[in-house]
Structure 1
């Protein structure tokens, strides 16, 4: 933490405890929130402010303008404005100030590029190649095939996958119990191919790799402990590199792919929202643009008067 006036520093420390203990956010999210709020408070201190009650919307706007001058992307500025609004709302709610200047703070509309996704043939090629490489029974091959099948079948986040325990997979019902952002629990179904890959991993792969320190972790790394997100990301990139013509996606790209294919297959938006664990339907709606773009391209290729 940078040097801040005493009241700012104290509030920042208390806010960190709130994010960790009350909102139960991940360490990555907490760091991002604190970094954004800390920058704003440092900007306010540089303007001569030392009290939370002195914060006003002009100060917040000048901070955002400073971000723009420094060349920050619109998406970054939008995220930081949101972080500050959440902070100032907490400051008012907990009686640390008498007003909420963040409520008047707008933010740049982020240009949301369409997320990249595999088409059905590319997804099939990825999973078929992973299954073929696991035919020799190697534990790592069996694990990779199970991870790829589960990511594509469920659309869960990579952090959610890495946090799974064995008893959170109900193979009789073919569902997985997932703890998402804010430790919100949801149940996500998966299909027969993913279940078969999971069965091979649990029967032959995991017992060959797991060590006592792994606990109940569903997926473990080469050293036998719970697998981490970096290892899963590296594996997905590597496996996709073997699929001709496929975009270079990470695990989040497989999440986009699952959502896109669900909608293209006829699933309604609310169902996809619940499966993905989105708090807002607006987050899920970007996938309607993906499918609409694919329809437009197909139309232009197929219709004689397109």
Structure 2
């Protein structure tokens, strides 16, 4: 293949992959921009080898990683974090090509990424969460639905997939015991308490809005519905959160996600004195090691308060 042919071939497949990330995965503009830069590196690498991206094999992609780390792709050498992201992008592309039937074998199946340093999850302050949850318009049906969804996510720490997958029967224990049944990863069920703010918002939505929405659909058992009476999608939940963040004028709008609410839920519980193993159970983490990531945030907060408040924390 000539370079122009390689470029056209790469453009077709990378464009389809990026559209998939936008429409199906709800990735942010910043994330898409990062993916696009990584895919441009892959295209340049393929052109240098005179091969289409569908023709690259495991050895080629190992060479790509080395070239990225040494700066041979052009520009400065990538850090471990940036190289790990590049490999994640490339893996995502080839898995997409396999799923779409464009290639039969995924050449990245055993590709190793350099170990990236553990990054602390970003969280919202308690004040910013309050502004976010108050942002939906209570004068509209959609606003009442959005408020119920956001309150539920923050109150329970649920993953967005767990929230949109919620059925009416899962709410049966709320009135009696104040818990909701969530179906997490690996079809593992857990019971999570629902706070009074979320319970009130859910009650208003279920009484005033859901009956109106359900008449427009086919009778789905889903709790959270769109205006056509169908189960709310993950992408729609992302849009609801992003719109609320814009209305609340939060500075983190570009990075906000349902998972940030989940991070905030965990961090605020630990900051309030909750035991890490209790938070582990509420989040549905298989290992307490995953949950302990949040304790670093609260320790940093304690250190900051101590250093700024204790009279003998800093020598004179």
The verdict on a shared fold, with TM-score over 0.5 as the criterion, is yes
Correspondence 1:12-161 to 2 at 5 A: 43-44=57-58, 65=66, 68=69, 73=82, 75-76=84-85, 108-130=114-136, 133-134=137-138, 136=139, 138-161=140-163
Structure 2 residue 190 is matched with structure 1 residue 186: yes
Structure 2 residue 304 is matched with structure 1 residue 297: yes
Secondary structure of the residue aligned to 1:117 is coil
Residue by residue, what CA displacement relative to the aligned partner does 1:239-293 show, whole Å, maximum 9, x if unpaired? 1223345522111110000000110111111111111111222211110111112
Mapped partners of 1:162, 1:188: distance in 2? 16
Mapped partners of 2:149, 2:197: distance in 1? 12
The equivalent residue for 1:279 is 286
Structure 2 residue 224 is matched with structure 1 residue 219: yes
Mapped partners of 2:148, 2:241: distance in 1? 12
Correspondence 1:164-203 to 2 at 5 A: 164-169=166-171, 170-172=173-175, 173-203=177-207
The equivalent residue for 1:163 is 165
Q: Which runs of 5+ in 1 are unaligned?
A: 1-26, 29-38, 48-59, 84-101
Scaled by the length of structure 1, the TM-score of the pair is 0.66
Secondary structure of the residue aligned to 2:268 is helix
Q: Using the TM superposition, name which of 209-218 and 192-201 deviates more.
A: 209-218
Secondary structure of the residue aligned to 1:241 is helix
Secondary structure of the residue aligned to 1:223 is coil
Secondary structure of the residue aligned to 1:159 is helix
Structure 1 residue 147: Cα displacement: 0.5
Mapped partners of 1:108, 1:160: distance in 2? 32
Q: Which runs of 5+ in 2 are unaligned?
A: 1-23, 26-52, 93-109
Structure 1 residue 160: Cα displacement: 1.0
**Aligned-residue RMSD, C-alpha:** 3.3
Structure 1 residue 126: Cα displacement: 2.1
The answer to whether the 8 Å contact 2:87/2:113 transfers is: yes
The answer to whether the 8 Å contact 2:135/2:245 transfers is: no
Q: Classify 1:285/1:75 alpha carbon distance in 2 versus 1 (closer, same or farther; 3 Å).
A: farther
Mapped partners of 1:285, 1:77: distance in 2? 27
Q: Using the TM superposition, name which of 214-223 and 121-130 deviates more.
A: 121-130
Select the residue among 205, 210, 214 that pairs with 1:206.
210
Alignment length, in residue pairs? Answer: 234
Mapped partners of 2:126, 2:190: distance in 1? 26
The answer to whether the 8 Å contact 1:177/1:187 transfers is: yes
Q: Classify 1:43/1:275 alpha carbon distance in 2 versus 1 (closer, same or farther; 3 Å).
A: same
Mapped partners of 2:163, 2:135: distance in 1? 21
